[in-house]
Protein backbone atom coordinates (compact mmCIF):
# COMPACT_ATOMS: atom_id res chain seq x y z
CA UNK A 1 0.00 0.00 0.00
CA UNK A 2 1.38 3.37 -1.03
CA UNK A 3 0.30 6.56 0.73
CA UNK A 4 0.92 10.24 0.01
CA UNK A 5 0.67 13.12 2.49
CA UNK A 6 -0.35 16.39 0.86
CA UNK A 7 -2.21 19.61 1.63
CA UNK A 8 -5.96 19.39 1.27
CA UNK A 9 -7.43 21.20 -1.73
CA UNK A 10 -10.95 22.61 -2.26
CA UNK A 11 -11.83 19.55 -4.36
CA UNK A 12 -11.13 17.34 -1.31
CA UNK A 13 -14.14 18.72 0.59
CA UNK A 14 -16.47 15.82 -0.27
CA UNK A 15 -13.71 13.33 0.57
CA UNK A 16 -13.39 14.87 4.06
CA UNK A 17 -17.15 14.68 4.59
CA UNK A 18 -17.16 11.06 3.39
CA UNK A 19 -14.41 10.02 5.82
CA UNK A 20 -16.34 11.50 8.73
CA UNK A 21 -19.68 10.03 7.58
CA UNK A 22 -18.12 6.57 7.22
CA UNK A 23 -16.44 6.94 10.61
CA UNK A 24 -19.75 7.79 12.33
CA UNK A 25 -21.54 4.99 10.49
CA UNK A 26 -18.93 2.42 11.59
CA UNK A 27 -18.62 3.82 15.14
CA UNK A 28 -21.86 5.63 16.06
CA UNK A 29 -20.88 6.01 19.71
CA UNK A 30 -17.56 7.79 19.24
CA UNK A 31 -16.62 9.89 22.22
CA UNK A 32 -16.52 13.64 21.71
CA UNK A 33 -18.12 16.07 19.34
CA UNK A 34 -19.71 14.61 16.24
CA UNK A 35 -19.55 17.11 13.41
CA UNK A 36 -22.82 17.72 11.55
CA UNK A 37 -22.05 17.77 7.81
CA UNK A 38 -22.84 21.47 7.31
CA UNK A 39 -20.67 22.44 10.30
CA UNK A 40 -17.85 20.25 9.01
CA UNK A 41 -18.26 21.75 5.52
CA UNK A 42 -17.95 25.27 6.99
CA UNK A 43 -14.91 24.22 9.03
CA UNK A 44 -13.23 22.76 5.94
CA UNK A 45 -13.81 25.97 3.98
CA UNK A 46 -12.41 28.19 6.75
CA UNK A 47 -9.40 26.02 7.67
CA UNK A 48 -6.25 24.63 6.18
CA UNK A 49 -5.49 20.94 6.24
CA UNK A 50 -3.38 17.97 5.30
CA UNK A 51 -4.46 14.52 4.25
CA UNK A 52 -3.07 11.05 3.77
CA UNK A 53 -4.18 9.64 0.42
CA UNK A 54 -4.06 6.22 -1.12
CA UNK A 55 -4.43 6.98 -4.78
CA UNK A 56 -7.41 9.32 -4.93
CA UNK A 57 -8.87 8.03 -1.67
CA UNK A 58 -8.57 10.08 1.53
CA UNK A 59 -7.55 7.83 4.43
CA UNK A 60 -6.85 10.36 7.21
CA UNK A 61 -6.90 14.13 7.57
CA UNK A 62 -6.34 17.04 9.93
CA UNK A 63 -7.89 20.52 9.73
CA UNK A 64 -6.33 23.48 11.52
CA UNK A 65 -6.54 27.26 11.73
CA UNK A 66 -3.22 29.06 11.48
CA UNK A 67 -2.60 32.27 13.40
CA UNK A 68 0.62 34.19 14.11
CA UNK A 69 1.36 32.23 17.30
CA UNK A 70 -0.38 28.86 16.92
CA UNK A 71 -1.95 26.34 14.62
CA UNK A 72 -5.19 25.30 16.29
CA UNK A 73 -6.22 21.81 15.22
CA UNK A 74 -9.98 21.50 14.95
CA UNK A 75 -10.54 18.07 13.36
CA UNK A 76 -8.49 14.89 13.20
CA UNK A 77 -10.10 11.86 11.57
CA UNK A 78 -9.14 8.56 10.01
CA UNK A 79 -11.37 6.38 7.85
CA UNK A 80 -12.19 3.22 9.85
CA UNK A 81 -10.76 0.97 7.10
CA UNK A 82 -7.36 2.55 7.77
CA UNK A 83 -7.34 2.35 11.56
CA UNK A 84 -4.23 0.72 13.05
CA UNK A 85 -2.04 1.60 10.05
CA UNK A 86 -0.26 4.51 11.78
CA UNK A 87 -1.57 7.03 9.26
CA UNK A 88 -2.82 9.60 11.75
CA UNK A 89 0.46 9.36 13.66
CA UNK A 90 2.37 9.94 10.41
CA UNK A 91 0.09 12.82 9.47
CA UNK A 92 0.45 14.59 12.83
CA UNK A 93 4.20 13.98 12.80
CA UNK A 94 4.30 15.59 9.36
CA UNK A 95 2.32 18.58 10.64
CA UNK A 96 4.88 19.04 13.43
CA UNK A 97 7.64 19.19 10.82
CA UNK A 98 5.92 21.61 8.39
CA UNK A 99 4.56 24.09 10.92
CA UNK A 100 6.71 27.18 11.49
CA UNK A 101 9.16 26.60 14.35
CA UNK A 102 7.85 29.62 16.26
CA UNK A 103 4.26 28.33 16.35
CA UNK A 104 2.63 25.93 18.77
CA UNK A 105 0.04 23.30 17.89
CA UNK A 106 -3.13 23.37 19.98
CA UNK A 107 -5.94 20.86 20.15
CA UNK A 108 -8.62 19.57 22.47
CA UNK A 109 -9.87 16.05 23.00
CA UNK A 110 -12.66 14.42 24.98
CA UNK A 111 -11.30 13.04 28.24
CA UNK A 112 -12.73 9.61 27.40
CA UNK A 113 -11.14 9.46 23.94
CA UNK A 114 -8.26 7.38 25.22
CA UNK A 115 -6.92 6.38 21.79
CA UNK A 116 -6.64 10.02 20.74
CA UNK A 117 -5.04 11.48 23.84
CA UNK A 118 -2.58 8.59 24.08
CA UNK A 119 -1.55 9.28 20.49
CA UNK A 120 -1.15 13.02 21.15
CA UNK A 121 0.88 12.43 24.31
CA UNK A 122 3.12 9.92 22.52
CA UNK A 123 3.89 12.65 19.96
CA UNK A 124 4.93 15.07 22.71
CA UNK A 125 1.72 17.04 23.19
CA UNK A 126 1.30 18.19 26.79
CA UNK A 127 -2.01 18.62 28.58
CA UNK A 128 -2.25 22.24 29.67
CA UNK A 129 -5.87 22.69 30.73
CA UNK A 130 -9.44 21.48 30.78
CA UNK A 131 -12.88 22.71 29.75
CA UNK A 132 -15.41 21.08 32.05
CA UNK A 133 -18.82 20.18 30.58
CA UNK A 134 -17.57 21.20 27.14
CA UNK A 135 -19.10 18.46 25.03
CA UNK A 136 -22.85 17.93 24.44
CA UNK A 137 -22.71 14.78 26.58
CA UNK A 138 -21.29 16.81 29.50
CA UNK A 139 -17.78 15.48 28.95
CA UNK A 140 -14.65 17.44 29.71
CA UNK A 141 -12.26 18.60 27.00
CA UNK A 142 -8.56 18.20 27.70
CA UNK A 143 -6.48 20.95 26.12
CA UNK A 144 -3.12 20.04 24.63
CA UNK A 145 -0.22 21.96 23.16
CA UNK A 146 2.98 21.07 21.38
CA UNK A 147 5.68 23.71 21.31
- Kindly list the catalytic residues: 108, 120
Dist. CA 106–CA 70, nearest whole Å: 7
Percent helix, strand, coil in the chain, to 5, is 35, 35, 30
Asked if residue 8 lies in contact with residue 51, where contact means CB atoms within 8 angstroms, the answer is: yes
- Which distant-in-sequence residues (6+ apart) come within 8 Å of 25 by Cβ? none
- Identify the burial level of 132 via C-beta atoms within 10 angstroms of its C-beta, where 0-12 means exposed, 13-18 middle and 19 or more buried: exposed
Q: Residues near 32 by Cβ (< 8 Å), separated by ≥ 6?
A: 109, 110, 112, 113, 116, 135, 139
Amino acid sequence: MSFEIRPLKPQDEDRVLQVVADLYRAHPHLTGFQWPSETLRAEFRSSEGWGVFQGGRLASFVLYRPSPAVWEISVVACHPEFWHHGLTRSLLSHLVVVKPADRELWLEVHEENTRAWRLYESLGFQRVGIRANYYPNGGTAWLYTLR
